[in-house]
Copies of this chain bind each other. A is one copy, B any other.
Amino acid sequence: MTYRLLLVDDHPMMRRGIRQLLELEDDLQVVGEAGNGQEALDSLAELQPDLILLDNNMPQMNGVETLKKIRERGFTGKVLLFTVSDAEEDVRDAMRFGADGYLLKDMEPEQLIDQLHRVLQGQMAISPALTSVLAQALRSPQGPSQADLTDRERQVLKMIAAGLSNKMIGNKLGITEGTVKVHVKNLLHKLGLRGRVEAAVWALEHLR
C-alpha cells in the first residue's frame, strides 16, 4: 500500500524540501502540490489524496480555513496541519474542524516521517510542544460555562432550544430578525458551537 499525499504550502522551497524527504519512503507518494488553499481545494477531486499536509501560514486563506473548507467538501482522508506558529486558538480550531494532527515545523525530518505514518494508521499527531495547549483545551472542553453570555444572548439561546426561527425570536423580543442573527452569531462564537442545532443541545444540557 502506498499512500497518496498532497502538499500545501505557499513556499515552493518548502514544498521541494518536504517532497524530497518524503519520497525517500517507498510507501509515501506525493501526488500533488498546492501553493495556496484554493489550489488545494481545486485539486482534491482529481488527486484523491490519502493525506493532506497543510501549512497554516498562507496568504488569503490560512491552513485552518482551508481545512474547514476541505471537510465541508466531504473529504474524509487525513489532514495534518504543519506550521511554525503555536497559536492556541489555531490548534483548538484545527481540532474542531477535524484535523488529524498539528505539527510544528521545527521538528526533525525523521520525526515528521514517523508522525505521518502514525496519522495514516489512524492515530493523532501532535507536536510535544503543543501538549500543554491541548491540555488547557481539554481542561475546559466547552468551558466558557455561559457566564460569558449576556442576558440577551441567553434569552435568544433558550428560544433557539425551543425550536424557534430567528424571525420568530425577533417577533417575540420585539427586535428585527437581523438583530437576532447578530445575537446568534455572537453566542455561537462565544460557546464555540457550529450552528443552532448544537446550540440547542448545549442549552438543554447547560441551561435550566
Residues of A within 8 A of B (CB): 72, 74, 76, 160-163, 165, 167-168, 170-171, 193-198, 200-201, 204
Least distance between A184 CB and chain B CB atoms (Å): 12
Which 8 A-B residue pairs are closest in the complex by CB-CB distance?
A163-B198, A74-B171, A163-B197, A197-B200, A200-B200, A197-B197, A196-B197, A74-B167
Chain B nearest CB from A168 CB (Å) reads 7
Q: In the complex this chain forms, how many copies of it are found?
A: 2
B74 contacts A195, CB within 8 Å? no
Q: How far is the CA of A161 from the CA of B198 in the complex (A)?
A: 8
Q: Pull 5 A–B residue pairs with CB atoms less than 8 Å apart, ordered by A.
A: A74-B171, A161-B201, A163-B197, A163-B201, A201-B204
- The closest CB in chain B to the CB of A177 belongs to B74
Measured in the bound complex, the distance between the Cα atoms of B171 and A193 in whole Å is 20
* Bound Cα distance from A57 to B72, whole angstroms: 45
B-side contacts of A196, CB under 8 Å: 197
Query: Of all chain B residues, which has the CB nearest A168?
Result: B74
Contact: A170 with B74, CB < 8 Å? yes
Residues of B within 8 A of A162 (CB): 201
